[in-house]
Structure 1
Amino acid sequence: MRRLRNTLYIFTENAYLTLDGENVVARVSGDEIGRIPLHTLESIFCFTYPGASPQFMGVCSERGVSLAFFSPQGRFLARSYGKCQGNIHLRRQQYRLADEEAWSLGVAKRFLTGKVYNSRWVLERVVRDHGLRIEADAVRRASERLVRALAAIGECGDAASLRGIEGDAASIYFSVFDEMILRDKESFRFVGRNRRPPTDRVNAMLSLFYSVLVTDCASALEGVGLDPYCGIMHVDRPGRESLALDLMEELRPVLVDRFVVTSINNRVVSRKDFVELETGEVRLADAGRKRLFEAWQERKREQITHPYLKEKIDRGLVPHVQALLLAQYVRGDLDDYPAFLWK
């Protein structure tokens, strides 16, 4: 099984990344502010405008180190790509199958089954652990409606209806999301999902870490030889990593949503860690963003037992494992794609 290496986060706004021998070097106005050996890194996230030298970007591509750029406020900007990974036969097969309506519908149903199943698991867990502190009946009713959504997914016969089921299930889930937030409800009240831009603190965290997760999924797909732009459930759109968005769906509840809720409930962040702009947009301030990414990196290293492989892996390897399973299904080595159903 692949080993999870470190992730480097660059938060200094005017930092510029270069290569010195085998080391990543961060410089500000030509002065070195830090360095780290490149071979220890899995990925690099730059929250800085100056970016990186072409030589450094090229070496990252050659070494398989994912390199993603965000604005200092956390808005995703771009990912650096090198040569395509894998063999052309896998990608040709991927494109052929993606054009087959029945095959695409089957895989989309697996993705959505994983998303709804995991959303229900998140709700059931909060009832189990904190039933006396929340409106448990409301959460149970939402969970029961998600059970019906799972049945509807199984019976669904076309992509348009499947997207309708997905929208309804997401609405049900987010309607009780606020129940999982157990402290400082005034500062972290959640009344619904909003984005572009997020207008409350919870959505600011969700949007940021959904962007991080989709970048991880795109890197995982590229790493196993699949084209992250060739969507199944998300339609193709120039510049959009549609398959990465597909793969992310089943992982959102257990990797991002639980992380955000835990970070609030465990006081990793507080009201002072956010900035509210005159436009209504809410952003994470530098100190809060740094603490969250430290907690995110620690969480990625937690060991879990993969529900399909029955092997212990780092939590951060879940996107890679799911991408590998999807590639095996495309290749014909598996009879079906096994969604990540957390237990």
Structure 2
Amino acid sequence: MPIIPHLIADQFGSHIGKYSERLQVTQKGTTLQQAPLLHLEAVYVLNRGVSISADALEACCNRGIPVYFIDSIGTPYAAVYAGGLAGTVLTRREQLRAFDDWRGGYLARQFASGKILNQAITLKYLSKTRKDSPAGAALRLAADEVQDHLAWLERLTGETADDLRPELLAAEGNAASRYWQAVIPLMPPDYGWVSREGRGASDPVNQLLNYGYGILYGQIERALVLAGLDPYGGFIHVDRPGKPSLTLDLIEEFRQAAVDRVVFGLAARNFTVDRDDQGRMSEETRKTFASHILEHLESGARYEGQRRPLGQIIQTQARRLAGFLRGDRENYEPYKAEW
């Protein structure tokens, strides 16, 4: 039986059950997939009409295997993992206190800096294969212009997250606008990509980006929970009921390395995005693309002089964030992608 680290169930009417020491996906009596629990790292339910047994959920929780539920446009709507993974309550207490003191402002600035820096790095990365062309020169210029926004952040005055938020969001938004403006001309014209759009996007590139971010979102949230942090207690993204603001904060420094590069690479190879009658990505396209994202998260990236899986780096960053909030670390440095 092959080793399957990520079990994906995406066919309407399929069922995930536990059989001996493995999970099995079946549909109308036919076995679609089997995954030994020993090697399983996560389960992804990517469609409506997929059921999972209580025995399968119990087996996953007992082994620390998360089960993620993501809708057809990439929006995560539930995740199941063991309640005992939440870590020490001290971390959450300090997280809540930090919102109203200098630590909240410091972290908000660091998250925004990480996003802007990695956008600039991604543009430089894309320019490597276009060194002696006008496109390469345009990308390098755009990278410098995006990176200039870091100086904007350094000039900000204020102590708390509330003090800094309006200017942080303005700098972040301007940098993002320049980033997407530089990338759009690189995509095949047949994709019809003219601007960055979130939920409800109808073009293939935005649909892939949104779906990829949904998968990454689950990885970030679990990393925060394992580190003892509350995914709903963020610093940049304003608190609202049901909004996992810390997840949305931490994801910013990983979007480019974990998702954008995968989408840009697939688009450059004219990856086929099949659609259903409602204009959404087909089940097969979602499953294939999810596999690309998950494989990329397992691939190595340079981190402090070593090559480590990107998924492990996410967990390490969450733990370092928790350590900073508890006072175990003097600072928090955002992840810096390689190029």
TM over 0.5: yes
Contact 1:229 1:243 in 2 (8 A): yes
In the TM superposition, residue 176 of structure 1 has moved relative to its aligned partner by 1.2
The amino acid of 1:297's aligned partner reads: L
Letter in 2 for 1:188: Y
Determine what percentage of the aligned residue pairs are the same residue.
27
**Amino acid of the structure 2 residue aligned with 1:117:** L
Cα separation, 1, equivalents of 2:95 and 2:326: 8
* Structure 1 residues 235 and 61: CA distance shift in structure 2, 3 A: farther
Q: State the match for 1:160 in structure 2.
A: 166
Question: 1:137: how far off?
Answer: 4.4
Q: After the TM superposition, which residues 3-82 of structure 1 pair with which residues of structure 2 at under 5 Å, given as runs?
A: 6-29=5-28, 32-49=31-48, 50-72=50-72, 74-82=74-82
Identify the residue that residue 290 of structure 1 maps to in structure 2.
287
- Give the secondary-structure state (helix, strand or coil) at the position aligned to 2:95: helix
Residues of 1 paired with 2:318 and 2:254: CA distance? 12
**Letter of the structure 2 residue corresponding to residue 55 of structure 1:** D
Corresponding residue number in structure 2 for 1:151? 151
Deviation for aligned residue 1:55: 3.4
Aligned counterparts, 1:155-304, within 5 A: 155-157=155-157, 158-181=164-187, 185-267=188-270, 269-270=271-272, 273-275=273-275, 282-304=279-301
Pick closer, same or farther for the CA change 1:17–1:276 going to 2, 3 Å: closer
Structure 2 alignment gaps of length 5 or more: 158-163
Distance 1:313 1:147 in 2: 26
Task: Give the Cα separation in 2 of the matches to 1:205 and 1:261.
Answer: 10
- Say which SS state the counterpart of residue 275 (structure 2) adopts: strand
For 1:86, the equivalent position in structure 2 comes to 87
CA distance in 1, matches of 2:144, 2:60: 47
Letter in 2 for 1:305: R
Task: Give the counterpart letter for 2:172 in structure 1.
Answer: E
Cα distance, 1:42 vs. partner? 1.4
| Aligned residue type for 1:18 | G
1:74, 1:210 → 2: CA distance?
7
Q: Cα distance, 1:299 vs. partner?
A: 2.1
Per the alignment, do residues 34 and 126 of structure 1 end up closer, same or farther by CA in structure 2, a change over 3 Å counting? closer
Residues in 1 aligned to 2:132 and 2:285: alpha-carbon distance in whole angstroms? 30
User: Aligned-residue CA RMSD in angstroms?
Assistant: 2.1
Q: Residue 25 of structure 1: SS of its match in structure 2?
A: strand
Could you tell me whether the CA contact under 8 Å between 1:61 and 1:82 is conserved in 2?
yes
Q: CA deviation at 1:132?
A: 4.6
Shift of 1:195: 1.9
Deviation at 1:72, TM superposition (A): 4.7
Quick one: distance in 2 between partners of 1:62 and 1:155? 48
Number of residue equivalences: 327
Residue identity opposite 2:197 in structure 1: N
Q: Which amino acid aligns with 1:40?
A: H
- Tell me if structure 2 keeps the 8 A contact 1:61–1:81: yes
Alignment-mate amino acid for residue 260 of structure 1: V
Cα deviation digits, residues 29-49 of structure 1 (max 9, x gap)? 455433222231111111132
Q: Distance in 1 between matches of 2:100 and 2:323?
A: 18
Q: Is the 8 A contact 1:178 1:189 kept in 2?
A: no
Are the structure 2 counterparts of residues 234 and 115 from structure 1 closer, same or farther at C-alpha, using a change threshold of 3 Å?
A: same
Q: Deviations over 1:169-203 (max 9, x none)?
A: 1111111111343xxx2222431111221121100
Per-residue deviation, 1:233: 1.2
Which whole-Å deviations, capped at 9, do the CAs of 1:93-144 have from their partners, x for residues lacking one? 21111332x2111101111111111111111222232145553444333222
Deviation at 1:313, TM superposition (A): 0.9
Distance in 2 (CA, whole Å) between partners of 1:31 and 1:143 is 51
| Alignment check: 8 A CA contact 2:321 2:332 kept | yes
Shift of 1:290: 2.9
Letter in 1 for 2:21: E
1:44 and 1:68 in contact (8 A); partners too: yes
TM-score (norm 1): 0.88
Letter in 2 for 1:166: E
